Structure 1
């Protein structure tokens, strides 16, 4: 099993004046401590489960480019990109650019989007749910075509591209890995089976069932279930002094027993760096053995 760090909160004690330095320090610590991935949200306002919408929120792909410059090893992604916030051709350019500039460390994390309040607030498109999923599938098709040798047109129901020329191409071939977020059984997990290299689920009592549903979709489309990396998002809290490390390890061991290969999560007080050090000292060496 591997661990990754999700940074959903940019409200630090120094405020915007030191935010760049704080974020660079966090990124270097994540990179040095042995985590596998580093992610940010694709939101333009803060979301309610983290804090008031007025709290600081950075644009995802600008931030990922900054993080690439301050790291050398860790993989980088938006967890997850809201499909309707960017046109698919531009999104493919964002991800392949990040892959080139990070020397092959970008992933495309993507989902159907859900935050209508921020979309309406900033005038971003937010069609009905069924259409967003149609656009998600077309975006996945466009991304894979733009990462291929086929630079011909793309004709879909919602998107029409005259040419899918994309130069430079990504370092990772045939394309940067794709993670699709969400546990919807009829649409999301079917798209995972057809297009994704990784899924993202939550450690609820429904997790074994969700994995069974994904396995059934893989069988339906002729995909090897073992090819898909099973990821879970949850808090990574070992306590301020490491006192909860054993409890965290027990939860992670249980997820590993279900076949989960990557656990990704937010770390309390991440800006102080010490929680990352504790995880690196006590937890990462253990989970690497799972």
Structure 2
């Protein structure tokens, strides 16, 4: 049976008579901590799961647990009979109040099968009780479609996944039937690894060669001078960007090499032009010049650099976008912009690429307008919906063919079991696994193929990945090779 993806968080209400298979189905498809079971709660407040005298207390406790979990926006699978309409509607209302999807799973198991299963139980449901439940199910079956659930599903293979992967299966099918080409870039955002700094050079070289073998089209590095708080701690090892790219140029043969993105305040712009041109020549024409506003104020203060206002940095960025192509072109004429004044624009040797691609990083309208006027590509954040919005805005600003690239943190597993282990390994102790999975786009090979197909359909020509787990193990590059192969 084809697997169905539901968005996390969601509420799943199981509805059916006793012995219809609800608990078995839930246990096979959901982690135990997601399932709120009336039987288990009866054992908690009574003498055991079959202590019917404890039912009222068990159901009261179930309602409270469900309320608390939904209030915390946690995926909740309600494993009870689900035959009480008032209770179902109450759970649905709780989900609606939190903006969480709520589905019912209807167990329309034939009465004869329920009775057969019940006879095989060591502790049977009394026959008259089961008959009553089966009658209640007949009524509930008619009521469910009118109660307002997002969907009423039959028991099937179900997974709860981050929103980005809900439509993955359909997108994978589209990719198989009508393949589209997509470029893949690997972003390096951390340099801590098990070998320590003495082997950092070999580690970086191995990443470069394995990424190239996996089919990546480019390798990018962050342009910072110490680790940013979104990734790690300030005192962790962090390599200078353009030096690292030069090293990677010698270690690789095919991939493009660039920054995501060079902070416009970090270097004299004419000097930056010389650095980029040198990399392009030494790499055989593989340099990409990424440019951005340089947002990290603490880094500026630590190195004694000025941190101009946003407006001044935008002026500097616009000047750089105009100056760099002049530097890389012929001649030695003076150039003056809004804030830059360069008496001589000599840069020899000139880059091998003509033009050398300039990529602007940022999703805001002001940044996109600059990209529309001067750049070859713009890198944006967000899911397929955000990419589609940014693509439409960019199109409204220019007739030029500006490539859209998209950057995301990515955790890829070969299968569900491996992915679950990876999520448990990397998530912070106090963070909900589902919420963490969404933050790092945790998905299987097929999940990722579907996500990237949707990004391509939204307008992305290249996806750039910061793979979460390269510090101690480079096997994710091999796993990503299977994803990349689907777009070749």
TM-score tier by shorter-chain length is over 0.9
Looking at structure 1, the residues matched to 363 and 335 of structure 2 have their Cα atoms a distance apart, in angstroms, of: 28
Where do 1:1-290 residues align within 5 Å?
A: 1-173=182-354, 175-185=355-365, 187-204=366-383, 205-218=385-398, 223-224=399-400, 227-239=401-413, 244-271=444-471, 272-280=473-481, 282-288=482-488
- Contact persistence 1:46–1:52 (CA under 8 A): yes
User: Structure 1, residues 214-251: CA drift from partner, whole Å, max 9, x if none?
Assistant: 11111xxxx32xx2111100123321667611111111
Q: Deviations over 1:54-77 (max 9, x none)?
A: 111111111111111100000000
Does the 8 A contact of 1:85 with 1:125 survive in 2? Answer: no
Q: Distance in 1 between matches of 2:263 and 2:381?
A: 18
What SS is found at the alignment partner of 1:110? strand
> Which shows bigger deviation, 67-76 or 270-279?
270-279
SS at match of 2:294: coil
Distance 1:37 1:269 in 2: 19
User: 2:412–2:480: 8 Å Cα contact kept in structure 1?
Assistant: yes
Q: 1:240 to 1:116 in 2, by over 3 A?
A: farther
Give unmatched runs, 5+ long, in structure 1. none
Decide whether the 8 Å contact of 2:406 with 2:460 is kept in 1: yes
Which secondary structure does the structure 2 equivalent of 1:117 belong to? helix
- The equivalent of 2:88 in structure 1 is none
Give the Å deviation of 1:159: 1.3
Q: Indicate the structure (1 or 2) with the bigger Cα radius of gyration.
A: 2
What is the CA RMSD across the aligned residues, in angstroms?
A: 1.4
Please give the alpha-carbon distance, in whole angstroms, between the structure 1 residues aligned to 2:403 and 2:352: 20
- Which blocks of at least 5 consecutive residues in structure 2 are unaligned? 1-181, 420-443
TM-score (norm 2): 0.56
Instruction: Give the whole-Å Cα distance in 1 for the aligned partners of 2:465 and 2:291.
Output: 17
Which string of whole-angstrom CA distances, capped at 9 and with x for unpartnered residues, describes residues 139-163 of structure 1?
1111010111242001123211111
Aligned length: 279
The answer to which structure, 1 or 2, has the higher relative contact order (CA under 8 A, 6+ apart) is: 1
Which whole-Å deviations, capped at 9, do the CAs of 1:237-286 have from their partners, x for residues lacking one?
32166761111111111111112110001112224221101111x11111
The superposition leaves residues 80-134 of structure 1 with CA deviations (integer Å, 9 ceiling, x where unpaired) of 0000100111000010000000000001011111000011111123111000010
CA contact (8 A) 1:79 1:110 kept: yes
* SS state at 2:345 partner: coil
Distance 1:50 1:235 in 2: 10
